[in-house]
């Protein structure tokens, strides 16, 4: 029990003393996840809204695929991209393996179906009169889509935050594609795995606490925006 309490105390000390090693890892992690979330959101939200607004054959099938992809294990994405980016792979000459870019691509792919699905749900759960109203007022496809995104912006923001949360907590693909290189591709999750295996429980715990603080901050911002909207 003492070991556990001592570890917590040491972890807090590391956070409060602004330990540069910890913050370096945290910043790398946040930057990679934000970039992945921005890239995924800029593709998934328009795709989700367009899909929700357009009736077409095979829509239910695509939604089944999206649902399946939402549950796809991260190591599978890591494995597939590893095959593509490794020296012998078809994209090996791009030299992306063990770079932050490879992690960003993997995380963007990982969170794309989540964001797209949540965007579809956001549009489908909007007031059913919204789209006929905008159409009757003369909205063409692009202004219609932008206005729908604007009206459902909180749900869209929730989609982005959920995606970001999934990206920052991801470990499998980050480990396989990033290689856990200190000061370069070491993220909070890969560092936690490494430090714990090395026996440096305090550092792992400090990073874990930072992850929780980030998750809490995101949820707090979302609740605050929701309450402002209400």
Partner 1 sequence: MTKAYQLSNIKVSFQQNVVLDIPELTIPKGKCVALLGENGAGKSTLLNVLACLSKANTGSVTLLNQTAALPLSSSQRQKIGFVQQHPYLLPGSVEDNIKLALKLQGIPATQHSQLIKQALEQTKTTHLALQQTNSLSGGELKRVAIARSIAYQPDILLLDEPFSHLDQHHIQLLEEFIVSFAQQQNKTIIFSSHDRLQGMALADNIINLVAGKITSSPLLNVFHGSLSEHLFDTGKLQIHSTSTQSNAHHIAIDPREIIISAQALQSSMRNSFSGRLILIAEEEESVRLTVDCGESFHVLISPESLKNLDLSLGKSVHLSFKSTAVTVF
Q: Which residues bind partner 1 (CB under 8 A)?
A: 127, 129-130, 132-140, 143, 147, 151
Residues in the chain: 230
Rounded Cα distance between 75 and 98, Å, is 15
Q: In b/e form, how buried is each residue of 125-135, taking b as 16+ CB within 10 angstroms?
A: eeeeeebeebe
| Residue 122 beta carbon to partner 1: minimum distance, rounded to whole angstroms | 15
Question: Within 13 A of 3's CA, how many CA atoms are on the CB side?
Answer: 3
| Residue 142 beta carbon to partner 1: minimum distance, rounded to whole angstroms | 11
Of the two residues 145 and 171, which places its CB atom closer to partner 1 in the complex?
145
Of the two residues 7 and 151, which places its CB atom closer to partner 1 in the complex?
151
- CB-CB contact of 185 with 101 (8 Å): no
Of the two residues 57 and 129, which places its CB atom closer to partner 1 in the complex?
129
- CB-CB contact of 155 with 121 (8 Å): yes
Rounded Cα distance between 53 and 88, Å, is 42
Of the two residues 87 and 127, which places its CB atom closer to partner 1 in the complex?
127
| Residue 144 beta carbon to partner 1: minimum distance, rounded to whole angstroms | 8
| Residue 138 beta carbon to partner 1: minimum distance, rounded to whole angstroms | 4
């Amino acid at each position: 029990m003492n070991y556990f309490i001592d570890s917590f105390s040491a972890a807090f000390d590391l956070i409060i003393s602004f330990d540069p090693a910890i913050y370096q890892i945290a910043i790398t992690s946040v930057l990679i996840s934000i970039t992945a979330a921005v890239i995924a959101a800029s593709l998934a939200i328009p795709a989700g809204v367009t899909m929700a607004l357009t009736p077409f054959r095979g829509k239910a099938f695509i939604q089944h695929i999206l649902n399946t992809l939402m549950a796809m294990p991260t190591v599978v994405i890591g494995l597939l991209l590893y095959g593509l980016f490794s020296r012998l792979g078809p994209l090996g000459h791009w030299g992306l393996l063990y770079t932050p870019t490879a992690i960003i691509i993997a995380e963007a792919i990982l969170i794309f179906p989540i964001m797209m699905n949540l965007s579809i749900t956001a549009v489908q759960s909007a007031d059913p009169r919204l789209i006929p109203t905008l159409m009757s007022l003369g909205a063409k496809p692009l202004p219609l889509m932008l206005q729908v995104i604007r009206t459902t912006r909180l749900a869209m923001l929730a989609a982005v935050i959920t995606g970001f949360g999934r990206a920052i907590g991801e470990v499998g693909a980050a480990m396989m594609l990033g290689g856990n290189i200190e000061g370069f591709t070491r993220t909070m999750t890969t560092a936690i795995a490494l430090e714990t295996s090395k026996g440096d429980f305090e550092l792992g715990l400090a990073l874990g606490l930072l992850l929780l603080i980030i998750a809490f901050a995101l949820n707090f911002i979302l609740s605050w925006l929701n309450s402002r909207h209400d």
